[in-house]
Chains A and B, each alone.
Chain A
Amino acid sequence: MPTVKELTARPTVFTGGHRACAGCGAAITFRMLMETPDVPVVAGIATGCMEVVSTIFPFTAWKCSYIHTAFENSAATMSGVESAYRSLTRRGRLNQEFRFVAMGGDGGTYDIGFQSLSGAMERGHRMLYVCYDNQAYMNTGIQRSSATPTWAHTTTSPAGEVIPGKREARKDLTAIMVAHEIPYAAQGTVSMWRDLVNKVEKALNTDGPTFINVLAPCPLGWGFPTQDTIAIGRDAVDTCFWPLYEVVNGEYKITYKPKEKKPVEEFLRQQTRYRHLSRKGGEPILKDIQESVDSKWHKLLKLAGEEGGE
């Protein structure tokens, strides 16, 4: 477990100079992710904001080998890379160690890339899959995804006169990954760097498929000032809107328990995607969100065998 000082001294694999928006949570995620590995990595990424901003030809923000092919298949593409690694190593044509990290936004992971992710995890390729979850399709202009939380405004689930934002529940992808019985699955966020870096290290050192879901606040899509990214992420975990936990070989462990669980409103009210909730008629919706957060948190406590679980 490196200290911040040690981390900053490590060579940066994902470099500055990319074209992400100021305060982009996903870019911070990548930076943390890529400072961790001791062994060289090959990074593969799905189409989306981070791919677009990091490799505008003839520039690249990647100092490791990197591949992007399409939107729905970073896991499948990396399955091929990892298979090539195993084949060439076994055949004695390669004797360098590598790790493999496949990445995608929530769209490229929860939705269109769901099948290829599930396939890769089921087949047991040794790769870390990281979803940078900014809870919408940001690259195409903030459309809803199945990771968009209930009642959030997006351009395809707008808060209108009759319908107050996204009506459906958020898909719990981390749970679905756990159901794949992979040896390591976790949730992290940019605000808790030590927690995240620790998880990335564990995942990369696990011999098998691993998954980390990272909440990556997006100033543009969520509507908050660019300097608040880290603070918003902290509110997300302090309100238990985005619990931090890991599941090692099926064993749940909560890795961060807020000393005092804040009301979810503290997280919501700073974001324009929830602006409509402060209007008249917003009360019951706020209540609904709080109830859902509470119930999920209790379920998680129970899974982790902690006090307060139902």
Chain B
Amino acid sequence: MEKTLRALTGNEAAAEAMRQINPDVVAAYPITPQTEIVQLYSGFVADGIVDTETVAVESEHSSMSATIGASAAGARAMTATSSQGLALMWEMLYIASGLRLPIVMPMVNRTLSAPLNIHCDHSDSMGARDSGWIQIYAEDSQEVYDSLIQAPRIAEHPEILLPTMVCLDGFILSHAMMGVELYPDEEVRDFVGIYEPEYALLNKAQPITMGAIDMFDYYFEHKRAHAEAMRTCKPRIQAVFDEFAERFGTQYGLIEPYRLDDAEHVVVVLGSTAGTVRVVVDELRERGEAVGMLKLRVFRPFPAEELIDTLAHVRGIAVLDRAEGMAGLGGPVYGEIRSALYDLDPRPVVTGYVYGLGGRDIRVEDIEAVFDELKGDVKAGRKDQRCRYIGVRE
């Protein structure tokens, strides 16, 4: 297959994927740093490059509402957002997933007010982690593009039917340029296919009622079924990744271990910071240190079993969180990883780091310091270490 190498920002990569998917309906509202996606897509529509029905709504609450309406009607529907926009959608996120609508959404990570800040951290998408959406975090623009091509197949799988967000770090990915290999339009369209829902509002022969009220006699069962779909979808997501690899040549996983097989000290990370950690791991490996990285690519469903299998032999783990959990216990990823590994015997030391809030840089030296501290913690057998901050003036 002929691939085209283009220099693209993360937002452009997202828009390119959307152009190739050419969804039936896109409803969106601008917010920095996501705005560009909406603009680029509107340009494609204006130029007749795609024939999507776009809805330039008056708010993110309405963009998610309209996307839900379109998806329920039987269309492949997408939107995009960031930060306050995601927060304004919060009510509707639960409704999208509770109605089991396979909506796909690029989510450009940006911190939440106050204080007002437009730069990257994960406080927005982490706040939505329990909303029943699948969450994929991209490391670079290539992964943004690839993940968005995979996302409709995952979301629309008849045994998954869960809305899916592809998270990319604001500015770090959304506005930084890198080489991205694009696949031919027909190949992508063929891979993604056409969405043919089993139930849709627009069906004269089989009208349906969507969004009924559940009392205590049914609500719990519906939520349990939703949770079960989330719990059991991991192999199905992996199957989409495998099929993608066969077609386009790049293999992805729910988690992506890097130089981990014989590693003693490991950093767990998601998003663009994985690139920085990779460099540090290579450097330390050259100095003969048994270090590795685990990139969490799919955060929802949480790959607990996969983490246990991969990290069981490790002595110390440092989890990097780009969000503060505001519980006095560090960030959300740290809490979940520590919990997943609790039953291991021997139990590795697991420490947490909050970093990069509001777009604060994370440097190679910072990651080196994390590995150093982790080694110290392991040597001292410190298992009560909760959470540290990287690069903040205390």
Instruction: Give chain A's interface residues, CB within 8 Å of chain B.
Output: 40, 42, 44, 51-52, 55-58, 60, 62-70, 72-73, 76-88, 90-91, 93-94, 96, 98, 115-116, 118-119, 122-123
Contact = CB atoms under 8 A, between A and B. Distances in A.
Taking each of A40, A42, A81, which has the highest tally of chain B beta carbons within 10 Å of its own beta carbon? A81
B92 interface: yes
Contact of B25 (A77, A87, A96): A87
Nearest to A86: B53
A98 B73 CA distance: 11
Q: Which 3 A-B pairs have the closest CB atoms?
A: A80-B69, A80-B66, A119-B58
A57 B70 contact: no
Nearest to B205: A96
A87 B202 contact: no
B62 A84 contact: no
A58 B67 CA distance: 25
A87 to B, nearest CB: 4
Nearest to A40: B204
Given A84-B53, A91-B51, A73 B70 contact: no
A67 B211 CA distance: 6
A166 B51 CA distance: 51
B70 A80 contact: yes
Interface string B213-238: 11100100000000000000000000
Given A51-B213, A66-B209, A57 B73 contact: no
B374 interface: no
Given A70-B92, A80-B67, A116 B213 contact: no
Contact of B57 (A65, A69, A98, A119): A119
A78 B214 CA distance: 22
Given A67-B72, A83-B27, A73 B61 contact: yes
Given A65-B202, A73-B65, A118 B212 contact: no
A87 B69 CA distance: 13
A116 B58 CA distance: 7
A42 B202 contact: yes
A88 B55 contact: no
Contacts of A60: 209, 212
Given A62-B207, A65-B201, A80 B55 contact: yes
A55 B209 contact: yes
B203 A65 contact: yes
Interface of B: 24-25, 27, 51-53, 55-59, 61-62, 65-75, 77, 91-92, 95, 99, 194, 201-204, 207-215, 218
Contacts of B99: 69
B52 to A, nearest CB: 7
Nearest to A79: B66
B105 to A, nearest CB: 14
Nearest to A116: B62
A80 B204 CA distance: 18
Contacts of A40: 204, 207
A81 B57 contact: no
Contact of B61 (A57, A81, A90, A116): A116
Given A79-B55, A91-B24, 10 more contacts: A60-B209, A69-B95, A70-B65, A72-B61, A76-B69, A80-B55, A85-B202, A87-B75, A94-B202, A118-B58
Contacts of A66: 201, 207-211
Contacts of B24: 84, 87-88, 91
B68 A84 contact: no
Nearest to A66: B209
Nearest to A71: B91
Taking each of B61, B73, B91, B212, which has the highest tally of chain A beta carbons within 10 Å of its own beta carbon? B73
B214 A76 contact: no
B332 to A, nearest CB: 26
Contact of A79 (B57, B209, B214): B57
Nearest to B73: A84
Contact of A96 (B69, B71, B72, B204): B204
Contacts of B95: 69-70
A87 B22 CA distance: 11
Nearest to B99: A69
A259 B384 CA distance: 84
Given A66-B210, A96-B204, A116-B58, A44 B53 contact: no
A69 B75 CA distance: 17
Contacts of B208: 65-66
A188 to B, nearest CB: 26
A73 to B, nearest CB: 4
Contacts of A122: 58
Contacts of A63: 207
Contact of A80 (B59, B68, B209): B68
A62 B209 contact: yes
Contacts of B214: 57
Contacts of B71: 80, 84
Nearest to A94: B202
A119 B62 contact: yes
Nearest to A96: B204
Given A63-B207, A65-B208, A115 B65 contact: no
Given A84-B77, A90-B51, A69 B213 contact: no
Contacts of B209: 55, 60, 62, 65-67
